[in-house]
Amino acid sequence: MPTIRLTQRRVDALRPGRKVRDVRDAELKGYGVRVMPSGAKRYFIHSQHRGKRVWKIIGDAAAIAEPEARARARSILAALRDGREPDAANPGGTLFETVAEEVFNRYGRRWKPRTLKVNRDYLRRQILPFFAGRSIGEITREDVRAWFRSLNATPAAANRSAPVLSVIMRQAEAWGYRPENSNPCAGIRRYRQGRSERFLTPEEYRRLAEVLGRHEASRPLHVAALRLLLLTGCRKSEILTLQWRSYRDGRIYLPDSKVGPRTVWLCGAVRDVLDSLPKSSEFVFPVSGSRTPWQWLDHFWRGVREEAGLRDVRLHDTRHSYASMALLCGESVRTVGRLLGHENAATTLKYAHLSDATVRDAVETLSPLLSGRQA
């Protein structure tokens, strides 16, 4: 980390690089300026106070002159050395919630709308109650560990909100609100959770097929949606937002699935289901009247699984079951990964060179069992 005697002329002369760069003052220990890749520059202090590292942004170099920043830094550092709290009127720190909102407004554009909504819920319910009102530069690893321990009664929520907090801290570091390489979420171990996957047996598939057959005349769209989930292993959102333009040449082309664009190979049974549906809308399932796009199918599924004696089966378990039955039918792990569109890059690499014919033949092999037609 470079050290020079900071002056207004030297601060003005600093040029941005590809990464965040901190330049320390050679005269006043703990005082420096951070140069952002964008060209922005922020004066900071980084010192010890009561056994903890203290990081505070003093001000933007475009708003205050170097002599004023030095005077503020000297005042804050003197207070810390004397064991006093820095002047409350000039704390120099940026509140956690301020940075979190900036992260959601700027970085959040990378998230899909549903992911953004879910992450905001985790921020509001699990993160802000613990960290709101605190300077983001002073949050330590011990603070994060204490926060994570406080959520031990809801391990799933803790595990899912931890990455959200980590993104906030990582961006805070990148934007100059925290020291370099200081993400306090690093190394936090997640809670262990019991395996919750539920796999349907061939007998349960047969019972489910019988129940769907009884409801087909009165609820054709509902039954068709469930059959597509059973026969493709697709995610619920991929089926319920499916548009007719994505179905062509006997395949489904998903332009924006969870893992990006992908092709879903269809067996004859799936093509029969789709070809039997009316094309009265751009969407395959134009069901309205629900508060959420998938509430209508969730409600129908609860009745179907009750009737079939499958009370503990969730809709997403149809995806797990599809993979399980594919393996039982002799398909390789790589082929099943291709069928499901797994997002893990290492796994994708293993089956990236499989021929389309191999994947198509695998789909045809699975269709009799998953459609409930096998005796």
The span from the CA of 313 to the CA of 301, in Å, is 10
Q: Give pLDDT tens digits for 279-293.
A: 989 999 987 655 555
The residues spanned by each domain of the chain are 3-81, 96-174, 202-370
From the list 335, 327, 375, the residue with the least C-alpha distance to 354 is 335
Q: Are residues 56 and 43 in contact, defined by beta-carbon separation less than 8 angstroms?
A: no
From the list 300, 285, 308, 292, the residue with the least C-alpha distance to 372 is 308
Determine how many CB atoms are found less than 10 A away from the CB of residue 375: 4
Q: Which CATH fold topology does 202-370 show?
A: hpI Integrase; Chain A (1.10.443)
| Amino acid found at 207 | R
Greater pLDDT, 109 or 261:
109
Res 124 pLDDT > 50: yes
Least confident range of 184-193, 329-338, 353-362: 353-362
From the number of C-beta atoms within 10 Å of its C-beta (0-12, 13-18, 19+), residue 260 rates as: exposed
Alpha carbons within 13 angstroms on the beta-carbon side of residue 341 total 20
Distances, alpha carbon 248 to alpha carbons 252, 260, 275, 277, 341, in Å: 6, 19, 11, 14, 18
Q: Give pLDDT tens digits for 229-242.
A: 888 888 888 898 89
Tokens (6 digits) for 111: 């998230």
Q: What is the pTM of this model?
A: 0.56
The span from the CA of 210 to the CA of 204, in Å, is 10
Least confident range of 162-166, 261-265, 295-299: 261-265
Note the CATH architecture for domain 3-81: 2-Layer Sandwich (3.30)
Res 217 pLDDT > 90: yes
DSSP H or E segment with residue 262: strand 260-265
Q: Give pLDDT tens digits for 267-277.
A: 888 899 999 99
Q: Give pLDDT tens digits for 132-142.
A: 988 888 888 99
Per-residue pLDDT band for 89 (boundaries 50, 70, 90) equals: very low
